[in-house]
A and B are shown apart, each in its own frame.
Chain A
Amino acid sequence: AQTVTQSQPEMSVQEAETVTLSCTYDTSESDYYLFWYKQPPSRQMILVIRQEAYKQQNATENRFSVNFQKAAKSFSLKISDSQLGDAAMYFCAYRRRSGTYKYIFGTGTRLKVLA
């Protein structure tokens, strides 16, 4: 069975600094998707960034980028130039490419941004 592990329950970063959130996963599949979602307090969970396992190039979305290490089964999220609006709960998720479409989530990392 697939599992996703986020080992950092809480992280803090100074505004304008860079922070990296960790995520590791376990799967025997070779093709899958990985996601980072962000949930601000009492608001909808929104997609931050997505990575397709067959693509070696790390995904980037503006200030957000990932370090995808397929062999190590690691998928960390780097947030550059942190802003107050980045404060949220961040969830790492895995989905098989086919067969079942459910997401498997980690336990989340709460990110605090200090002014």
Chain B
Amino acid sequence: EAGVTQFPSHSVIEKGQTVTLRCDPISGHDNLYWYRRVMGKEIKFLLHFVKESKQDESGMPNNRFLAERTGGTYSTLKVQPAELEDSGVYFCASSQDPRVGKNIQYFGAGTRLSVL
């Protein structure tokens, strides 16, 4: 079974440009999460999708970030326009229903974004 896949693995852009990150969750996982780790700091939650609906977007830093999950399958996270402080590693995770007991989140390898 394929795990959570993210691409690109690394993106280098200039300040002011647009970047789109993609995440393909594990097949059958309705729940999809985005997180971000800025250099040396903790991994911070950005948002949570249940199918195509945003369940919790309390961690989105500002309106330059747009997350979508059309059709409830893969998700994209667009940053427009990118700023220097957006640099970091963006992780995607997916899970089955988190209300059910022992389920866990499965993570991708992350996309390293460098804004110059």
Residues of chain B whose beta carbon lies under 8 Å from any beta carbon of chain A: 3-4, 9, 31, 33, 35, 40-45, 48, 55-56, 58-59, 91, 93, 95, 98-99, 102, 104-110
Contact = CB atoms under 8 A, between A and B. Distances in A.
18 contacts: A37-B107, A39-B107, A44-B4, A44-B106, A45-B107, A46-B107, A98-B99, A101-B31, A101-B56, A102-B33, A103-B33, A103-B35, A103-B93, A105-B35, A105-B43, A106-B42, A107-B40, A107-B41
A53 interface: no
B105 A43 contact: no
A104 B45 contact: yes
A83 B40 CA distance: 25
B101 to A, nearest CB: 9
Counting chain A residues whose Cβ lies within 8 A of the other chain, the interface size class is: 20 to 34
Nearest to B50: A101
Nearest to B40: A107
Given A101-B31, A101-B98, A43 B109 contact: yes
A44 B48 contact: no
A35 interface: yes
Which of B3, B45, B59 counts the most chain A CB atoms within 10 A? B45
Given A50-B104, A100-B56, A102-B48, A44 B109 contact: yes
Contacts of B98: 101
A50 B107 CA distance: 15
A42 interface: yes
A91 interface: yes
B105 A103 contact: yes
A114 interface: no
A79 interface: no
A66 interface: no
Nearest to A6: B42
A11 interface: no
B43 A44 contact: no
